[in-house]
Structures are given as C-alpha cells and as structure tokens.
Amino acid sequence: MLPPPVPVTGLRLAVALTESDRAIWRRLEVRSDVTLAGLHRILAATFDRDERQDHRFETAYGGFGTDIQGGEGDRSDDEVTLGQVVTAPGHRLVHEVENWRHWIRVEQRVGLPAAPRCLDGERAAPPETCKGEQDYEMLLEALKSPDDEDSEALLEEFGAGFDPEWFDRVVINERLARSS
C-alpha cells in the first residue's frame, strides 16, 4: 500500500546509468508531486531519449510503468507521485527503459523548483540506436579507430558524430523547458 501524498517539496536527485563502466550521470531538481510518468518524461529529456518508449520504475512499493516486461502487479506510473515512493534522502528507485537501467537516489530535500532542472552531470547518454551495453561498448571501440573499415560501419549504424564525453547542462535544461 502506498503512503498518502506528503506536503510538496523539491527533491535533488542523483541519476546514473547502471550498466556502463563509464560514469554517465545527472543531478536534477524536481518537485515531489511529479508523477512517475512525469519523471519518466523528465529523464527522457535529460538523457536525450524518446519519451514514448516503454518504461518501468522499481520502487519499495512495487513496479510502476507502461507495458514492458515488468513484474506481476505492476501499476500505472501516472497514478503515483515521486514523493509517495521516495520520502527522504537516501531513498532509491530504478528506472528501466528498453535495455537500460538508471538508478535514482534522493540526495536531499530542496526548495520547491519552478521547473525541473539539471544541475550537473557527466558524459553523453548512449545514442538511442545502442540497444544495450554491448552495442555501446562496440561504439566506443569504433570511436577509437574511426578510419577502420569495421569501425566505419559501426559508426554509421550506432552514432556517427557521437561524442561520449559530451555534457552540456544548458542544452539539457533547454530540453527540460521544452518538455514541461
């Protein structure tokens, strides 16, 4: 059973891809009254993903999401707020999209933000064409020797022009503003 909604506050979240050996993370501020469906849209904008992708949140209160391979008894993510499933600093949840998993940890309560915003982060999220860690690792190897014939084909398939070190907080916040 879910706890009742608590007074609305701001939450600072640390979000990172769990599969990658290279740190790909973001620090966000969001409202505690955002639904998990809304949080999914925020994460899609933050990690440059299509918000229409099937997804699932794993919480201490069960799974919430869209129609993906979740556990029995999963519920819709538009029926619960973030503040209902994580109530204090240190609480965690997991966000699954396609073959990628993000862990999300509440770092602290903060003043109520006017809109979601990205405070910090590191590295670009893998391109959407990479359907998992194996594809991403192949892309990183291809980027080391882009003139190699095999690398050229992989770069064409997975991400010509992709820069794994890219991170631009301003661009991410512009995406967040457009998605709000």
For residue 3, tell me if it sits in a domain.
Answer: no
Question: How many Å separate Cα 172 from the centre of its chain?
Answer: 12
CB 80 within 8 A of CB 64: yes
Verify that 84 and 68 share a domain, yes or no.
yes
Verify that 118 and 154 share a domain, yes or no.
no
pLDDT given for residue 111 in this prediction:
95
The 10s digit of each residue's pLDDT in 15-69 is 998 766 678 999 999 999 999 999 999 999 999 888 888 889 999 999 999 864 5
Integer Cα distance of 26 and 40 in angstroms: 14
Verify that 103 and 140 share a domain, yes or no.
no
Which DSSP string corresponds to 75-114? EETTSSBHHHH--STT-EEEEEETTEEEEEEEEEEES--S
Residue 177: CB atoms within 10 A of its CB come to 12
pLDDT given for residue 71 in this prediction:
54
pTM recorded for the entire structure:
0.90
pLDDT given for residue 122 in this prediction:
95
Verify that 25 and 83 share a domain, yes or no.
yes
For residue 58, tell me if it sits in a domain.
Answer: yes
pLDDT tier, 166 (very low <50, low <70, confident <90, very high otherwise): very high
Residue 174 is part of which domain span? 10-124+168-179
Residue 42: CB atoms within 10 A of its CB come to 26
Q: Which of 38-42, 101-105, 135-139 has the lowest mean pLDDT?
A: 135-139
Verify that 44 and 115 share a domain, yes or no.
yes
pLDDT given for residue 35 in this prediction:
95
Integer Cα distance of 74 and 67 in angstroms: 9
Verify that 132 and 113 share a domain, yes or no.
no
pLDDT given for residue 6 in this prediction:
80
Verify that 80 and 112 share a domain, yes or no.
yes
For residue 52, tell me if it sits in a domain.
Answer: yes
Integer Cα distance of 55 and 153 in angstroms: 30
Verify that 38 and 120 share a domain, yes or no.
yes
pLDDT given for residue 16 in this prediction:
95
Verify that 102 and 145 share a domain, yes or no.
no
DSSP 8-class letter at 8: P
To 5 degrees, how large is the angle CA 5–CA 46–CA 161? Answer: 165
Verify that 57 and 99 share a domain, yes or no.
yes
The proportion of the chain whose per-residue pLDDT surpasses 90, expressed as a percent, equals 52
Listed in sequence order, the residues at least 6 apart from 69 whose beta carbon sits closer than 8 Å to its beta carbon are none
CB 84 within 8 A of CB 75: no
Tally the domains of the chain: 2
Integer Cα distance of 36 and 79 in angstroms: 8
pLDDT of 157 above 80: no
Verify that 33 and 73 share a domain, yes or no.
yes
What is the CB-side half-sphere exposure of residue 74 using CA atoms within 13 A? Answer: 18
Across the chain, the runs of DSSP E, i.e. the strands, are 10-17, 25-31, 55-59, 62-65, 75-76, 92-97, 100-110, 117-122
pLDDT given for residue 159 in this prediction:
66
Compare 67 and 79 and report the one with higher pLDDT: 79
Q: What is the mean pLDDT of the chain?
A: 88
Query: What CATH number has the domain bearing residue 108?
Result: 3.10.290.30
pLDDT of 108 above 90: yes
